[in-house]
Amino acid sequence: MTKIERVLEALQNGEELTAKQIRARFGAGNPASVVQSLRFRGFPIYSNPKTNSKGEVKNFYRLGTPSRKVIAAGYRALAAQAA
């Protein structure tokens, strides 16, 4: 199983992962590249900022459900390519 597949499996199991966690757990040298690769494959990966008790903001990646606007934009883009 590739690093990308393992990250996807964790996200599909409901986990929220930071870039640091993706790097440490899955050995991904560039976590942003892994997330981008999943997005290009059609998975709706969202980045949610959360503030901890020390006031530090960390971004957590999660698998979500795209909004109707995002899906509509995708169909418009596909229609424009076909024309």
Report the percent of the chain where pLDDT is more than 70: 100
Q: Which residue has the higher pLDDT, 82 or 44?
A: 44
What pTM, to 2 d.p., does this model score? 0.81
Mean pLDDT of 13-26: 96
In the CATH scheme, what is the code of domain 3-82?
Answer: 1.10.10.10
How does residue 82 score in pLDDT terms, banded at 50, 70 and 90? confident
| Residue 33 pLDDT exceeds 80 | yes
Considering Cα of 55, then 31, then 42, then 83, what sign does the dihedral take?
A: positive
Q: What is the pLDDT of residue 83?
A: 75
**Domain ranges in the chain?**
3-82
Which residues make Cβ contacts (< 8 Å) with residue 62, sequence separation at least 6?
A: 11, 15, 16, 17, 45, 46, 48
